[in-house]
Structure formats: C-alpha cells, structure tokens
Structure 1
Amino acid sequence: MRDFLRRRAESKAGHGPTGLSLLPWLLMGLGALSHLISGEAANPWVGGLGLLTFNTLYIWVVMRAFVPAARDTALTWWLLGTLLALTFALAIVYGREWLLLFPLDGLTVGAVVRGGRMLRLTAFPLVAGVAVVTIWRDGWDSFGIVYGTFISTMVTAAILALSETVQELRATREELARTAVEKERLRFSRDLHDLLGHTLSVIVVKAEAARRLAPRDLDAALAQVGDIETVGRQALTEIREAVTGYRETSLATELDRARDVLTSAGIEPVVRQSGPPLEPRTAALLSWVVRESATNAVRHSGATRCEIEVGGSAERVRLTVTDDGRGTGSGTPGSGLLGLRERVAAAGGTLEAGPGPRGGFRVTAELPVEEAGAADGVLGRAAEANDC
C-alpha cells in the first residue's frame, strides 16, 4: 500500500523536485574542464572523454532517480556504481579540481538511496573513500570536499525523502477524502432505499385498505387516509434527517410501525420482546432490520402471520423475524437485506436470511452488545468523516 501511494503521489505531483533540479550542480565540473583547457592535465583527450562520460552518467542516474519504477532497478545501481568508480579514477589520476566531482557523487547517491539502512551502507564507505583519495592527492587543505560530499549526500536524501513523504501524505489525504465521500454516498443510498421502500409499501397498503373500506365504512377509510398523510409527513422528516446524516431510529417505534403495516396488509403481527434494555445504537440497528423485514413480508411474502422476537443476554442480542409466506419470491435476498448484512457485520454481528424451518421466510440478526458502538459509523454518521 505504501508503494502504491508513493507511486501515485510522485506520478501526480508536478510541484515536487525533479531530476532537473540537480542538473545545475554540474557547473562544479567546470574546474576540471578548465584544467583540461589550460593544458596542465596529462592525456587531456582521456580526461575529456572521462569528463564527458561522467556528465552523461550523472544526468542518466539523476533522471532515473526521480522515476519510481526505475530508481531501484539493477540498471540504476549499475550506472551509479560505474559513476562512482569513474570519479575515483579521475580524482586519483588528475587530483586538484577533479576532486570537486565527489560532491556530485553525493548528490546522486542521496537521490537514489534517500534513506534507511542502505543509505548508511552506501554513504559512509563513499565518504571514507573520498577522504582517503582527497587527503592523499591534495592534503588536509581539501578536507572541505570530504565534508561537502557528506553533506550533499545526507541533505539530498533528507530533502527528497521528506518531499516523498509529503506527497504520500497528500495522496493519503485525497484517498481518505474520496473514501469518506463514497461511504457517505453508500449511507445515503441505503437510507433512501430503506426509508422509501418501507414508506411507499405502507402508503400502498393503506391506500388499498382505504379503497376496500370506502364503500361500506367511510370513517374507517378516512382513518386510513389520515394514516397515509401521517406516514407521508413522517417520511419527509426522515428523508431530511437521512440527508443530514443524523437519523436515528427507535426499535420500539419501529415495532409499533411494523404491527400497524402488517395489520393493514392483512398479516397477523406477533411481537415478543425480552432481555435487558438495549444500547441505543444497537436498538437503532435492529430497528432497520425490523423495518426491512416487515416491508419484505408485506410486499413479497403473501403471508398471513409474521412473528417478531427480540431477546438475548447481556453479551448478545438476537432479533428474529419469521413469516409463513412464500419468501422473497426469488429465493435470493434483495439489496435491502444485503445492505443490512453489511451494516450488521460492520457492527460485529451476523445477519442470516432464508427459508424458515417450517416454511416461510426468516431473518435472524445477532449483535454483540459490548460492540454496539461500532454501529455508529454504519448508521448514518459517515458524513462526520468528511470533517476528519
């Protein structure tokens, strides 16, 4: 994952350091060029060819050091080793101004290695070798070149490693922001599915009841119409809460709603509740299961009886919704149950849905009470992650 973020950050960052930022340092080689032009150097053609080869290798290594896919390859290390060997050969033969090529070697080592144990294994032998050659060729007066080589190696490695870390952090922040947005979209789509699916089912059931009752009992039909208005207003409130991400549901309220919608659909509701009081977020998560299960029973099951049982202990709570109908129709849980399964799993629980032991359809949800707080992020709080 770290390598992926590094490659992503470096491929997108147009404002970070590049290989071009190290090319101006080649001006330090003008001293060696001046030594050749002055005619003081022995075998000037050999020295000129060596200097040209040095510049070529330096540019090649530096440019590859800023390409993540090429930096750690064998070719880059072979080129770096060749560059170092050539520099030592030229410094030993010519000395003087040619010793200024050593700090350039430090730049290439820092750009390629950048940190860790490998930097120590590379930098310290390099500095030690530079010290031996420099003091042997030019005495202690050139010790500044040794120091310059050490500083150029360490500072380059530190700056580039810090830049790489900053780019990784930027890429990580962008990835977290994108993940938060995706979670919020998922939360919103799930809430709308659960809210609208249930609400529209209730409206349809009560509208059918009002149509059946109107010819023979106008008051009862008007009561159903009033219920439709109430459900519609409640749905508007819940949708607003879902949009803001602060919707919490009550298990007791959802059980009452389930009784009402099941009764209106001609399904006998049987509700049993036992065990210790539930933590609010556990109850809220179970209320989603009750709502989805009751909606599925009304829309798909064709059942005449639906049992809802809530029970458990101080450690675990169990909700079972069983009807005597024909199931979901396809035999495969729909998107609502699949979404609920993910929510329950995120809270540390399990949700199973399928045919009951005596026919019909059964939904069973179990949650660990002590981990109920984990349901917070799954119950519509993903919007808060955008502020992190």
Structure 2
Amino acid sequence: MTQTATGRPPRYGWVFAAVWLFYLGGNVQALLDQPDMYWRVAGLTSVAAFAAGYLFLVARVRHIRRGVRPPRHVVRTWLGIALLLALFALQVPGAGDHSLTCLVYIAALAMVNLPLAQAAPLAVVLFAGAEIAPRVVDGWADGGYGLAVLLGSLATYGIRMAGERQRRLMAAQQELSDRAVADERARIAADLHDILGHSLTVVTVKAELAQRLLDFDIEKARKELSDLEALARDALSDVRTTAMGVRGISLPGEIAVAREALTAANIEAELPGAADEVPTRNRELFAWTIREAVTNVVRHSGARHVRVQLTPDCVEIVDDGVGGSCSGGQGLPGLRRRAEGLGGRLIAGAREDAPGFRVRVEVPA
C-alpha cells in the first residue's frame, strides 16, 4: 500500500495489493486436492470472496485523509475484518493449515486501516493464533505462518508511518508556501501604499498649485501640469515594477523628490545636499523613511518648516506642524518593519524641544 507524492494512497493501489494474492495459491491447490466436494466448493468460493473483500478494503484506504480515520471507517473496517475471518474459517476444513495464510492479509489490512491502538492487539492475536494452531491441531504443519503475520504487520506499519510522515511534510510545505504568499502580498501592499501615498500626495499639491497659478501665471501653471504628467508616469512605472518585485528606490532621488514636494506645498525645507556618507546597506531604508515622513508632513502636519538630518547610521525628519504624522495608516508600521529588518529602530512622535513631529530611524553602525 504505497503513498503518492501528496501523501494519499494511489487511486489504483489495490492493483499493487492484488499482486500479493498469489500466496493464496497454496490454499487453492489444497482445496483442489480436497476429496470432499462440499468443502472443496465452499473453500474455493470463500477464497474468491476473501480476495475480493480484501481488495475492496484496501481500496477504501484511499478515502482516509491526513491520517484521520473517521469512526464510520473504523466500524466498516471491523465489519470487513469479521467477514474475512468468517471466510477464513470456511477454508479451514478443506485447506487445513494452508488457510492460515489468510491471517497475514487480515493483519496487514488492520495495521493500515485501523487506529494503532486497535490494530496492534489484533495483530498480536493473529500472530498467536498462527503460532499455536499448528501445534494443537493434528496433521497441521508449522509453515512459518506466525512469522509471516509478524513480518506483514511490521511492514505495513512501516508503510503507514511513512505515509503519515509524508502527509505531515506536505502539510508543512503547504503552510510555508501559504505563508510565503501572504508575506509577498503584505510586501506588495506596503510598497504600493508607500508609492501611491507619496506620489498622489505630491500630485494633489501640484494640482492645487497649478489651479491657483492659472489665474495669473499660465506658464508656471503649465510647468506644474507638466510635472504632474511626469509624476503620474513615474508612479505608474513604480506600481508595475513593484508588482514584479524588482523595484528599488534611491536615497539621492528621494531627497530631490522631497525638496520638490515641500517646495510645491510652500514648506520651507532644510535638506542634506548629498548622501555619499550613508553606507549602501542603509540607503534604501533611509530613502523610505524620507519618503514616508515627507508624505505625512505634506498631507497631515500643516507645518511651515521641515528639517532632514542624515548621518551614516541615522536619518531624522522634524517639522513644526501639529503632529498629524501620528494619523492612522500603514506607512509608519511598514517603516518600522523595514527598520527592524536591519536591526534598527523607528522613533516617531511629538518633539520634546518644540511643537511638531519627529521621525527618526537609527541603525547600528
């Protein structure tokens, strides 16, 4: 009774089990040599019925899922085993000690179909019967049937354990696969939030500025509208590359974008002129920090002044607004996860030295 790669018995596993029925040939030959017509016919009929019942019960194994044996399946198995024992008994008068071969099949079937607490005692009883019967019944020879019952039980128990281990392995692999999919979905959702939140905020600010400029400076309004088109194209490109998992952002680029966004929002900004001193491993994290913090400043804070300080192991953004960066959303939690991924920490909250809000990310040197 082999297992497929999915941990389930194969659809045609009964064919494999049928191969082993050739051992019933000894029963058939003994019955054919039986001079009593009644016991010969009864015995041959019971052998055929035994083989069919055995294959039917083997085929039922494929309905067991994840190693769970429902009570209904257990009851049906016991009824089947009782029927097989009755068919075995019908062979005894005609086949003699050859009929003990049937006990091997019954023990093997029990070890696969029944709960182990029920199968093991039954196998012991069958082993004892196969060992004792040749010693107490006149004319019967010890053909090693007890050993066959023992070996058959152990072999099918090993197959059963291998199948259950395979099921557990497949379940663990499926769990890991589901978790990987969930993590990837969370990553894409966080990245899309960061991209669209920033880009749409800048688009909104520039659209408002362009609308005001239309009344007195058409050329500047046209330039703002041109910038809007470029921003929309960039956001679309970022969304596409994020979905493919190949997007990266640039720290110098985010500093430049932050300068443009703050200027469009009429917020005075102090920004670092270069980012050369920041090590490569920290650049993407610091770029995301500047993007998220500046987006929140433009969108929520009502600030008039923003300062961005950059060192090799730290980036800090402070404003003089009303602390709107505390508003709900996924930006800061996502940023915290990114920082913790590099062993760093995020500090976000009201400033202690003055009104306003502070976002600070520190990474161990």
1:1-80 alignment, distance < 5 Å? 15=10, 66=64, 68-70=67-69
2:360 aligned residue: 364
Q: 1:353 aligns with which of 348, 353, 360?
A: 348
Instruction: Name 1:158's counterpart in structure 2.
Output: 158
From the CA coordinates, give the structure whose radius of gyration is larger: 2
Aligned partners of 2:160, 2:12: CA distance in 1, in Å?
7
CA-to-partner distance for each residue in 1:2-33, whole Å, 9 max, x for gaps? xxxxxxx77xx5856899998999996x969x
Q: Structure 1 residues 139 and 318 mapped into 2: Cα distance closer, same or farther (>3 Å)?
A: farther
CA contact under 8 A between 1:198 and 1:292: conserved in structure 2?
Answer: yes
Q: Go from structure 1 to structure 2 and tell me whether the alpha carbon gap of 1:135 and 1:309 turns closer, same or farther (over 3 Å shift).
A: farther
1:321 to 314, 317, 324: 317
- CA distance change for structure 1 residues 366 and 139 in 2, over 3 Å: closer, same or farther? farther
Paired AA for residue 250 in structure 2: S
The reply on whether 1:102 has 2:103 as its aligned counterpart is yes
Match of 2:330 among 335, 344, 351: 335
Contact 2:97/2:141, CA 8 A, preserved across alignment: no
In the alignment, structure 2 segments of 5+ residues that lack a partner are 1-5, 40-49
Please give the alpha-carbon distance, in whole angstroms, between the structure 1 residues aligned to 2:13 and 2:321: 68
Unpaired runs of 5+ residues, structure 1, are 1-8, 41-51, 370-388
What displacement does 1:278 show? 1.8
- CA distance 1:134–1:309, shift in 2 (3 Å): farther
The CA deviation at 1:294 is: 0.7
What are the superposed Cα offsets for residues 195-226 of structure 1, whole Å, 9 maximum, x if unpaired? 12211111222223333444444444343333
TM-score computed with the length of structure 2 as normaliser: 0.67
Quick one: structure 1 residues 38 and 354, their matched pair in 2 at CA, closer, same or farther if it must change by over 3 Å?
A: farther
Task: Map Cα deviations across residues 341-382 of structure 1 (whole Å, 9 max, x no partner).
Answer: 23333444333432222332222223456xxxxxxxxxxxxx
> When the two structures are aligned, how many residues end up with a matched partner?
330
Question: Structure 1 residues 70 and 14 mapped into 2: Cα distance closer, same or farther (>3 Å)?
Answer: closer
How far did 1:104 drift? 3.2
TM-score, normalised via structure 1 length: 0.63
CA offset digits 1:72-121 (Å, max 9, x no partner): 9xx99xx8xx99xx99xx9xx99824533431353145326999xx9xx9
Q: Is the partner of 2:346 in helix, strand or coil?
A: strand
* Preserved contact between residue 205 and residue 264 of structure 2 (Cα < 8 Å): yes
RMSD of aligned C-alpha atoms?
5.0
Q: 8 Å contact 2:100–2:130 — kept in the other structure?
A: no
Q: CA deviation at 1:296?
A: 0.8
What does residue 209 of structure 2 align with? Answer: 209
2:238 matches 1:243? no
